[in-house]
Structure 1
């Protein structure tokens, strides 16, 4: 199955402008170019946009094993601000894969490689 095509059905992430570039078992990469719609009242990227970017990358890495997986717990740490015009990249890497649970670390960086946010998540595999 082509998981890049599968995740085009993630309407929330797609409508937010997120593009999935790689969806391999245990690894995924997604990008988001920051526009006005992604900014909060302080003119920096809203945390929900960063979380959605991380969540899509994690979901793609987990589901690319060919078994339906759903996030059951995630936490994110915002480390630096991003602004309009920045290109953010989320890379999800598998830390642990078991029969019913899997764990991922997602790093979001800007176009200069600056670390913007880190997300850890656990998924349940059906």
Structure 2
């Protein structure tokens, strides 16, 4: 049940489903199921990619997993598309470099950043 999962009243979920239906993002029938439309699927995939990108970025900079997941959710909805693009490029660059081009450099960079953070936390 969506309302229980989100911790909101069923009437709130019904209202949101109606709005999403009006926007062409879901097929909603009262007392029936909810299905994403093609447009809704594209939007959901976009938001998921953004979330994954921000979560990965936050993990790279050593943010704890639980905080990274929560903060990624905030970032995915709040930033300008140009900023999101640069975050995406940065994460892709680091990931690709770590896997192919310069794994030793990236590994060393991340390790030095970790050590820097540890030194700073002792202040």
* TM superposition score normalised by structure 2: 0.26
Compare relative contact order (CA 8 Å, sep 6+) and give the higher one, 1 or 2.
1
More helix by share: 2
Whose strand fraction is larger, Structure 1's or Structure 2's?
1
TM-score, scaled relative to structure 1: 0.25
